[in-house]
Homo-oligomer: A and B are copies of this chain.
Amino acid sequence: MNRSVVLPFLLFAGLSLAPFGNHVIADEQPLFGYSAASSRTERQWEEKLRAIPSPENLRAYMQRLSAQPHHVGSTYDKNNADWIASKFKEFGLDTHIEQFDVLFPTPKERVVELVEGGPKFTAKLQEPALSQDLTSNQQTEQLPTYNAYSIDGDVTAPLVYVNYGIPEDYEQLDRMGISVQGKIVIARYYHSWRGIKPKVAAEHGAVGCLIYSDPHEDGFVHGETFPAGPFRPPDGVQRGSVADMPFYPGDPLTPGVGATKDAKRLKIEEAATITKIPVLPISYADAQPLLAALTGRVAPEGWRGGLGITYHVGPGPAKVHLKVKSNWEIKPVYDVIGKIQGFTFPDEWVIRGNHHDGWVNGAEDPISGMVAVLEEARALGELVKSGWKPKRTIIYCAWDGEEPGLLGSTEWAEAHYEELRAHGVAYINSDSNGRGYLEVEGSHTLEKLTNDIAREIADPETKLTVWKRHQLHAIADAKTTEQREEIRKRADLRIPALGSGSDYTAFLQHDGVASLNIGFGGEDEGGIYHSIYDDFYWFTHFSDTDFVYGRALAQTGGTAVMRLADADLLPFEFGNFAETVQTYLKELKALSQKMQDDIRERNREIEEGVFKATNDPKKPLIPPAVETVPPHLNFAPLENAVDVLTRSAAEYHKALEVTNANGGVALAADSIAEVNKMLMDSERKLTNAAGLPNRPWFRHQLYAPGFYTGYAVKTMPAVREAIELKQWKQADEAIVVVAQVLQDEAALIASAAQKLGQAR
């Protein structure tokens, strides 16, 4: 699971709705996408659903699923898959396990030593078992601490501290006159997905990379460490994948196709997502002697961590020996797939998933979310047994191999690409779950749906609806009066777009299936992520200890699935969507303007002698070079496309209003099916076959993880990243491409509106 900061709901200017809590009015209005009659029935079934999930069950599931390490290839991984399948079947789902065979390296040799420039030191690379935490001693089953898909290597070189190891840090190193060419870098976790760190280091000529958890972000700075408190103990290590997933996720040997037994595979040497240099993650206890042995420049203010030492950049005199060697084996991943067949539109699929594999015992990541999804499946099974007949087919999935690289979900979404393009209504993902606020990210066409559902769920701590709690939290967090006023006045809270970090990636960004990622969080702090301490003991002492947020997640996910599965007309909404796309365009124009202004200003300062005048001879900095001021880009195609999109969204809204005025959706079945098909296609239309420049696997033209952020989204990525990388020609070209995608989308929405109008 993605552990970068999860952005919560933002607010939105959308359709006006009855204010929160005014349930009488809300009850009288048909649900969005429902006729008056089907709305009444739906409400009754949904209320039944929400009464079912039980915290006791969630606790029992977690204890069972996290009892042993269950990473890809482990005995307990298969055991869990079989158990989940048996539960799905018990709940009444039509269940099978789908196997893929993927490249999954596990460590054979790992060495980190300080060989020169300080007291000889060999890193422990081992998390100690704790007597009170019974599963922490399962050392024979535990995977050692490592970064999966690090290339093998054996290097000895001076060390350089590179802060977070992101591109801006290398700009700062350049100013300081420090090169990492031929060096081993040590970067701290955070401020990018971990795989970015070795990627950028290699681009700058480094020969090896260490990544450590600094207590400033993850450790004693935040509070008591485990087992006294929830935070990362000195020897705790964050394992994790470093495959170049922003290039393509999934099995490195089978990009774009399912890793079935007989799939055509690349050779390992051909796999572009394996790192270029060896990488290992280390604890802060292991990092401290290495960092303390650096001298040279004192680290700039923003680079200093929480260890009680002076942070230096180096290079050296610390010289480090880093050795990584893996078993490069093909391993099975087991996706558990359980279906409830739709009664009216069986070829329209609502898909819900969470992964089941963990790095070790994985109680929080992913079991805290997986148990809620499991309990949802049980609840839906109960409803079916009580006579509920969902209109659409519902598919519950428990993915394997998410941790190493979204393997199970990606291979499945690649193997079933054509079916998903034909049948996929939406994919709803969860991953880890904790205490706090409902956090929703995803396709903006589903923003209204998620707001509607959030108004139905009670927050366990405050008894407010999770929507209201979230709105009040957004008010507290708002930076400006304007933001606060928007949050107060607009009907819907905004949802941020999806980047990457969990199993929605292939569905949304490769297949073009509208996707959501949902979970609770914001009050759950800790430091056991991807360590042996992420286990039942930790979770039941420090997180959602009574599983009430697990229950809330099952209620939320279950309601969302039902609302989509039972709707007459799919609850896609384009007003929110078009308005948000408008804001992205504004951001891009502002970004482009800012780059011009910044470069112009910096050139002027270079000419004025600002950099020379402010250069402290005791801490010299190399002045930046004069740069050509960026050209003006032609945003007109996008501006026109967004205008057309806004008009189409308004037409669709109008058509819907007329329909509603006539007593809710009441169209002829085949007309409805036709409109629904268009609505399903509305996300597909946002992709194109060519994909993003230089990374064709990513086909979505509105949302992608940043090539240099890994998790964090870049909206209109082809345009935005071209601007960020100062590729002006490519930016102008990308504007045309994205504009065309939006024009096509607008045409589709206009057709749906017209169809809806005709159908009355």
Instruction: Using CB atoms and an 8 Å cutoff, list the residues of chain A in contact with chain B.
Output: 215, 220-225, 298, 304, 306-310, 435-436, 461-462, 464, 468-469, 472-473, 475-476, 481, 484, 523, 597, 601, 605, 608-618
B298 A472 Cβ-Cβ under 8 A: no
Among candidates B224, B310, B605, residue contacting A223 with C-beta atoms closer than 8 Å:
B310
B472 A610 Cβ-Cβ under 8 A: yes
Among candidates B310, B461, B481, B615, residue contacting A220 with C-beta atoms closer than 8 Å:
B310
Roughly how many angstroms separate A725 CA and B605 CA in the complex, as a whole number? 42
Roughly how many angstroms separate A609 CA and B476 CA in the complex, as a whole number? 10
Roughly how many angstroms separate A310 CA and B226 CA in the complex, as a whole number? 13
Contacts of A615 in B (CB 8 A): 462
Contacts of A309 in B (CB 8 A): 220, 308
B306 A308 Cβ-Cβ under 8 A: yes
Shortest C-beta distance, A304 to chain B (Å), equals 6
Shortest C-beta distance, A132 to chain B (Å), equals 20
Knowing A484-B601, A605-B475, A605-B476, say if A613 contacts B462 (CB, 8 Å).
yes
B298 A223 Cβ-Cβ under 8 A: yes
A608 B475 Cβ-Cβ under 8 A: yes
B612 A462 Cβ-Cβ under 8 A: yes
Among candidates B224, B436, B472, B616, residue contacting A310 with C-beta atoms closer than 8 Å:
B224
Copies of this protein in the assembly total: 2
Roughly how many angstroms separate A611 CA and B309 CA in the complex, as a whole number? 38
Contacts of A473 in B (CB 8 A): 610, 613-614
In the complex, the 6 A-B pairs of residues with the closest C-beta atoms, listed nearest first: A308-B308, A472-B613, A223-B298, A472-B610, A523-B616, A220-B310
B306 A609 Cβ-Cβ under 8 A: no
A461 B617 Cβ-Cβ under 8 A: yes
A476 B618 Cβ-Cβ under 8 A: no
Cβ contacts A to B, 19 pairs, < 8 Å? A215-B308, A220-B309, A223-B298, A223-B310, A304-B306, A306-B308, A308-B309, A436-B616, A461-B617, A462-B613, A468-B613, A472-B609, A472-B614, A473-B613, A473-B614, A476-B605, A476-B614, A481-B597, A523-B616
Shortest C-beta distance, A228 to chain B (Å), equals 10
Contacts of A436 in B (CB 8 A): 616
Contacts of A310 in B (CB 8 A): 220-225
B221 A618 Cβ-Cβ under 8 A: no
Q: Which residue of chain B has its CB nearest to the CB of A304?
A: B221
Contacts of A617 in B (CB 8 A): 461
Contacts of A215 in B (CB 8 A): 308
Please give 10 more A-B residue pairs, beta carbons under 8 A apart, in addition to A224-B310, A523-B616.
A220-B309, A221-B304, A221-B310, A222-B298, A222-B310, A223-B298, A225-B310, A308-B308, A435-B616, A468-B613
**In this complex, which of A220, A307, A597, A611 has the most chain B Cβ atoms within 10 angstroms of its Cβ?**
A220
Shortest C-beta distance, A168 to chain B (Å), equals 18
B472 A608 Cβ-Cβ under 8 A: yes
Roughly how many angstroms separate A215 CA and B310 CA in the complex, as a whole number? 10
Contacts of A225 in B (CB 8 A): 310
Contacts of A220 in B (CB 8 A): 308-310
Shortest C-beta distance, A97 to chain B (Å), equals 39
Roughly how many angstroms separate A597 CA and B618 CA in the complex, as a whole number? 46
Q: Which residue of chain B has its CB nearest to the CB of A224?
A: B310
Roughly how many angstroms separate A56 CA and B597 CA in the complex, as a whole number? 48
Shortest C-beta distance, A214 to chain B (Å), equals 11
Q: Which residue of chain B has its CB nearest to the CB of A225?
A: B310
Q: Which residue of chain B has its CB nearest to the CB of A462?
A: B613
Roughly how many angstroms separate A220 CA and B298 CA in the complex, as a whole number? 10
Contacts of A222 in B (CB 8 A): 298, 310
Among candidates B523, B609, B618, residue contacting A618 with C-beta atoms closer than 8 Å:
B523
Contacts of A308 in B (CB 8 A): 215, 220, 306-309
Shortest C-beta distance, A551 to chain B (Å), equals 17
Q: Which residue of chain B has its CB nearest to the CB of A611?
A: B476
Roughly how many angstroms separate A601 CA and B479 CA in the complex, as a whole number? 13
Contacts of A484 in B (CB 8 A): 601
Roughly how many angstroms separate A284 CA and B475 CA in the complex, as a whole number? 40
Contacts of A614 in B (CB 8 A): 469, 472-473, 476
Roughly how many angstroms separate A136 CA and B435 CA in the complex, as a whole number? 56
Contacts of A462 in B (CB 8 A): 612-613, 615
Contacts of A298 in B (CB 8 A): 222-224
Shortest C-beta distance, A227 to chain B (Å), equals 15
A476 B610 Cβ-Cβ under 8 A: yes
Q: Which residue of chain B has its CB nearest to the CB of A475?
A: B610
Roughly how many angstroms separate A461 CA and B618 CA in the complex, as a whole number? 11
Roughly how many angstroms separate A304 CA and B310 CA in the complex, as a whole number? 16
Roughly how many angstroms separate A481 CA and B472 CA in the complex, as a whole number? 35
**In this complex, which of A308, A605, A616 has the most chain B Cβ atoms within 10 angstroms of its Cβ?**
A308
**In this complex, which of A304, A473, A610, A615 has the most chain B Cβ atoms within 10 angstroms of its Cβ?**
A610
Roughly how many angstroms separate A436 CA and B619 CA in the complex, as a whole number? 12
Shortest C-beta distance, A37 to chain B (Å), equals 36
Contacts of A435 in B (CB 8 A): 616, 618
Contacts of A221 in B (CB 8 A): 304, 310
Roughly how many angstroms separate A178 CA and B461 CA in the complex, as a whole number? 23
Shortest C-beta distance, A50 to chain B (Å), equals 21
Q: Which residue of chain B has its CB nearest to the CB of A312?
A: B223
Q: Which residue of chain B has its CB nearest to the CB of A616?
A: B523
Roughly how many angstroms separate A468 CA and B613 CA in the complex, as a whole number? 8
Roughly how many angstroms separate A612 CA and B464 CA in the complex, as a whole number? 10
Shortest C-beta distance, A429 to chain B (Å), equals 26
Contacts of A613 in B (CB 8 A): 462, 464, 468-469, 472-473, 476
Roughly how many angstroms separate A308 CA and B219 CA in the complex, as a whole number? 11
Shortest C-beta distance, A354 to chain B (Å), equals 25
Roughly how many angstroms separate A475 CA and B222 CA in the complex, as a whole number? 37
Shortest C-beta distance, A248 to chain B (Å), equals 38
Contacts of A468 in B (CB 8 A): 613
Q: Which residue of chain B has its CB nearest to the CB of A612?
A: B462
Shortest C-beta distance, A486 to chain B (Å), equals 14
Shortest C-beta distance, A221 to chain B (Å), equals 6
Roughly how many angstroms separate A597 CA and B484 CA in the complex, as a whole number? 13
Q: Which residue of chain B has its CB nearest to the CB of A473?
A: B614
Q: Which residue of chain B has its CB nearest to the CB of A216?
A: B304
Q: Which residue of chain B has its CB nearest to the CB of A215?
A: B308
Roughly how many angstroms separate A476 CA and B613 CA in the complex, as a whole number? 10
Q: Which residue of chain B has its CB nearest to the CB of A311?
A: B221
Roughly how many angstroms separate A605 CA and B614 CA in the complex, as a whole number? 45
Roughly how many angstroms separate A281 CA and B472 CA in the complex, as a whole number? 43
Roughly how many angstroms separate A151 CA and B62 CA in the complex, as a whole number? 61
